[in-house]
Chain A
C-alpha cells in the first residue's frame, strides 16, 4: 500500500474514512455501492417471494455473507497470481467435471453435484470463472486480434467444459460458460467477418443441436414458441409468469400482496421466476428500477474493464461484466416471455447460493484486477 503514489493529495483529503478503507481493500466504490443496492433490493423482494419464510431468508443472508467474503478475499489477491492460477483453476475444474460425469450425485434428474462429504459442490460453477480466465490467460501474451489457430484453441478451451456441462444436463450453465469464453474472444477483437461466419455456423448448428437435445429441453423451446398449447403443462411457467407481471401494472399490487406469487400460481417464485414477483408486487417501476441498477453495474464494470492495463485484466473483466449482463438479460427475457425458459437465475436476487457466490467472486476478481492497477503497471 505504501507504494501507492499520492497523485492528488487534495482529493484524497476529501475522501471519507470509509472510502479510503474501500480503496485500501482494492474495492471499487461505485461498483460496491451498486452491488449492495441490488443485493438489498433482492433481499427485500425475496422475503415476499419465499412466502414470508424467514428461515429461507436468513439462510440467503448467510450465503450472501459468504459470497461477499469471497469477493473481498479475491479482491486482495494480486492480479499476477490470478493470471498464473488461471490454467490451474481450469485444469482442476475440468478434472472435477470429469469426476461428476463418472460418479456425481443426482439431483432433479441431473448429475451436477460432486459430494465432497462436507458440502456438495457444482464444478460447473468454477468453469464460469475458469473458462474466461483461461481464454484470457491464453490470449494475454499473444497478439490481438487472435489468429485462426488461436481462435481454434480458444474454441477448444470453451467447448470441452461446455460439452461436459451440457451433458449433465445443464443447458443454462453450459450456455453461460460458453458465452463467457466467447465474450473473451469477442473482446479480444475477433473480426466482424469471423463473428458473422460464427453466427451463420451457429444457425446451421441449431437443427443438429435440436437432434441432441433432451426431450424436456425441446419442450421448453416449443413451449416458448407457443405457451398456450399446453397451459397446464409445459407452458404453465411462461403463462403464469406473464399473468403475474401483467397483472402487476405500473405500480404493482404491493409488497407481499401479489396473488400469483403468494398463492403459488407462479412456479419457482423465489428462484428463477423471482423477477415476476417483482413485476407483480412492485409493478413496472419496480422492475425498471432493478434493470437500471443492473445496467449501472454493467456500465461501471465495463468502464472499469476499459481502463484496465493488461490484456488479461481487460479480457477477464470485460467478460465478467458481460456475463453478468447475460444473466440479467436471459432471466428477465425468459420471465417476461421473450426468451425460452432456461434455468438461469436473476443475478444477486434469486434464492440459492451457488450462482451468488460465483457472481460475487467474479466481481472480486474484477476488483482485484483493477484495484491493483498501479502496482501492476509499475
Chain B
C-alpha cells in the first residue's frame, strides 16, 4: 500500500501476526463446533430416522415360496409334480436400464420378443427388490449363451427353482389344467404377499380350481444384504441373528381319475376330436375326463412362446377347447332312455304296449313328416325294443304326449341344462329347452313340432359329455345323484394325513315305483345285445352292459333328403355319441363318449367305452401310459431355496 520502500517493523508484524493467529484459532474452533453441532443434529435429534433407514438398508425380507402340492391319480401315480428347473430372473432395482436389458435378452433369444411388453408391465408394477421371472426353463444352450454374457446383465441371474412338471404330458390336461407365470391379471386377485416368491399360479383346470389348496403358505427369511443387494452372511466380523419363517407346502390332491383309463380313452379318440367322461355312479368320482385333441401343459409351465401358443389357439381342431366340460352337443338318441323314464313316471305310456313304426311320423293336422333313421321303419316296437333299436318314431310320439314342459321337468332332474357342480371350473350348462325358455330367449311361443325332435335329442336340446355321463350315472344308480368330482382326497402337507372327501349327494330322484328304472335299464341292456344298436361292440361281454347309442346331426337335412355320410365333408358328418354303464345290476362305472363327426354312435363311440369297461371291470390293461422324465438340467441339489 505504501510501496516497498517501507522499513520492516518487526514488533508491529509480530503483533499483527498474533492477532491473525488468534482470529484464525477462534474461527477454526467455531467452524469445527458447527460440524459437531451438525453431528449432534444427525446423531441425536434425527437418530431414530436414520437408524430406521440404515436398518432398511441392510435387512431385507426374502420370500420363501412354498412347494406346490402334488397331484396323484387314483392309483397313486404322480400326475403333477415339482422338478427343479433353471429360471432366468431379473431384480428390478439392480438393473440400470430395464427396457434395454429386456431388448438385449430378446435379441439373444433368451426371452421371447412378444413377452417383453408384458414383462415390462410386470416389472413396473412389482416391487423393486423382488425378482421377476423372465423365463421359467432354460435349456443347457440358453445357459451357455447367458453365462458368457452375464457381465452385460447386472441384476439378471439364473436361479434354480422348482417348476411344475406333468409326467404324462398332454394326457388328462383337460382335467389337470396347468400352471404358468403369474400375470398382471392374476396379481389383481391374489394376495401379493403370499405369492411374492412364487413364479407360477394355476391357470385352468384343477391347478386353478384347487389353487388355494395346492399353493401352500409362503414363508420368508430375513437376509443381510450389502449395497449391491447381494446376500452376505456376516456384518463385519460378526454373524447377525436373522429370522426365518418356513413356508408351508401346499396340500397334495388325490384324484378319482385313473391314468390307465384316461390313456385308453385318449388313445381311442386319437386322431379324432371328441370326449370321454367316466363316472363312478356310487360316488360321483370322475374316473376319466378326456378331451381330444390335447396339448402339452409342460409348454405352459416352462414358458410357452407366442408362436407355439398361436399354433394351439388357431389349430382347426381346437386342442385348447375342453370338449368334455365345455362342448355342448345335441345329445341325439342318448336321451331316449331318459324320455322313456319320463313317460313311465308321468304314466303316459305302457312300456309293454307296442307301437307300429313305419318309418314316418306326423303331428295331427300337419303335413310335415318326421322320418325314422331307418327309412323302412322298425315295425311294431315296445318301449324296450324302441330303446334297443333306437326307434325314432316311438320317441317322437312319446315326446308329443309328454309335452315340452314335462320333458323339461324330467330332464332337469337328470342334470340337463344345469351345471353339474364338478370341482373344476369352466363347465357349460347346455340347453334344456322349455316353453318359458323359448319365450325368454327368442320371444316366440313353443311349437309342438319342436317337442317332437327334442324326443330324439335334437332341436334346441344340447348337453356336454360330462352332463351325459352324469345322467347315465344317475340312471345307473337308480336315482341316486352324486355330484361329479375329480378330487377324492387331500393330503395335509403338515400332518401328512389323508382326508377323504365325502361324496356329495344331490337330492334323490324318486320315481313312483323303483321298477320303472329296471324297465328302462333292461331296454338299455338290449342295446348291447344282438339286435341292439351297439351289439357289434359288445360281443361276448362277460358283464351286463346298459347302453344307448346316439347320432347327432351337425346340420339339418331338408325334407326327403337322405343322409349320405360318404358324400359329406368330414366336418359336416354326424357326431357319434354313446352312453353306458356296467355292470347293469350293480353299476360301477357310467360313461359318455362323444366323437365329433364320428358318424354312428354304435360304431365310432361304443368301442372306446367297451375298452374302458373291460379295463375297469376286468383289469384288462393292454398298454399303461408311461410317465416322461423332465428334461435334464437342474437337480434338487442345485435348488436356490431353503427346504
Contact = CB atoms under 8 A, between A and B. Distances in A.
Contacts of B43: 245-246, 248-250, 279, 283-284, 287
Interface stretch (B187-195, B233-241, B500-508): B233-241
B224 A263 contact: yes
Contacts of B36: 287-288, 291
B227 A263 contact: yes
A147 B38 contact: no
A187 interface: yes
A302 B224 CA distance: 48
Looking at B9, B16, B42, which has the most chain A CB atoms within 10 Å of its CB?
Answer: B42
A368 interface: no
Contacts of B38: 333, 336-338
Interface string A311-335: 1001000100010010011001100
Interface of B is mostly: helix
Contacts of A264: 226-228
A257 B235 contact: yes
A143 B35 contact: no
Interface string A252-276: 0000111111111111000000000
A19 interface: no
Contacts of B55: 247, 259
Interface in B36-69: 36, 38-40, 42-44, 46-47, 49-51, 53-55, 57-58
B31 A329 contact: yes
A257 B240 CA distance: 10
B8 interface: yes
B20 A318 contact: yes
A245 B50 contact: yes
B415 to A, nearest CB: 62
B25 A299 contact: yes
Contact of A336 (B35, B53, B232, B236): B35
B297 to A, nearest CB: 41
Interface string A125-163: 000000000000000011111011110000000000000
A350 B91 CA distance: 34
Contacts of B151: none
B284 to A, nearest CB: 59
Given A298-B28, A329-B28, A245 B17 contact: no
B513 interface: no
B225 A263 contact: yes
Contacts of B29: 295
A246 B46 contact: yes
Contact of A143 (B9, B20, B235, B236): B9
B20 A245 contact: no
Contact of B13 (A149, A186, A189): A189
A284 B37 CA distance: 10
A150 B25 CA distance: 26
A336 B58 contact: no
B236 A257 contact: yes
Contacts of A288: 36, 39
Contacts of A248: 43
Nearest to A247: B54
A291 B57 contact: no
Given A247-B51, A260-B54, A322-B24, A279 B237 contact: no
Contacts, number: 177
Interface residues of B, number: 50
B12 to A, nearest CB: 8
A263 B235 contact: yes
Contact of A142 (B1, B4, B21, B34): B4
Interface in A14-63: 48, 51-52
B8 A333 contact: no
B20 A243 contact: no
A124 interface: no
B35 A329 contact: yes
A298 B227 contact: no
Contacts of B224: 263
A352 to B, nearest CB: 21
B3 interface: yes
Given A244-B54, A325-B28, A336 B39 contact: yes
Nearest to B45: A246
Nearest to A287: B39
A90 interface: no
Contact of B226 (A145, A265, A318, A333): A265
Given A263-B58, A338-B38, A52 B236 contact: yes
A248 B46 CA distance: 11
B28 A322 contact: yes
B32 A189 contact: no
A253 to B, nearest CB: 9
Contacts of B514: none
B21 A306 contact: yes
A248 B226 CA distance: 18
Contacts of B555: none
B330 to A, nearest CB: 65
B347 interface: no
A374 B284 CA distance: 114
B18 interface: yes
Contacts of A245: 39, 42-43, 50
Given A246-B51, A247-B51, A333 B28 contact: no
B34 A259 contact: no
A246 B232 contact: no
A86 interface: no
A267 B28 CA distance: 28
A305 interface: yes
A294 interface: yes
B50 A243 contact: yes
A150 to B, nearest CB: 7
B235 A259 contact: yes
Contact of A263 (B17, B44, B49, B57): B57
B20 A48 contact: no
Looking at A259, A284, A325, which has the most chain B CB atoms within 10 Å of its CB?
Answer: A259
Given A263-B57, A264-B228, A295-B32, A144 B8 contact: yes
Nearest to B232: A263
Contacts of A183: 24
Given A259-B57, A311-B13, A336-B35, A305 B46 contact: no
A173 interface: no
Contacts of A338: 34-35, 38
Nearest to B31: A329
Given A150-B4, A187-B21, A302-B25, A144 B236 contact: no
Given A295-B28, A325-B28, 8 more contacts: A51-B236, A259-B57, A267-B227, A279-B43, A288-B39, A306-B18, A311-B13, A338-B38
Shortest 7 CB-CB contacts between residues of A and residues of B? A246-B50, A247-B54, A262-B236, A256-B236, A143-B6, A263-B226, A189-B16
6 contacts: A245-B50, A246-B50, A288-B39, A329-B28, A333-B35, A333-B38
Interface of A: 48, 51-52, 141-145, 147-150, 183, 186-189, 191, 240, 242-250, 256-267, 279-280, 283-284, 287-288, 291, 294-295, 298-299, 302, 305-306, 311, 314, 318, 322, 325, 328-329, 332-333, 336-338
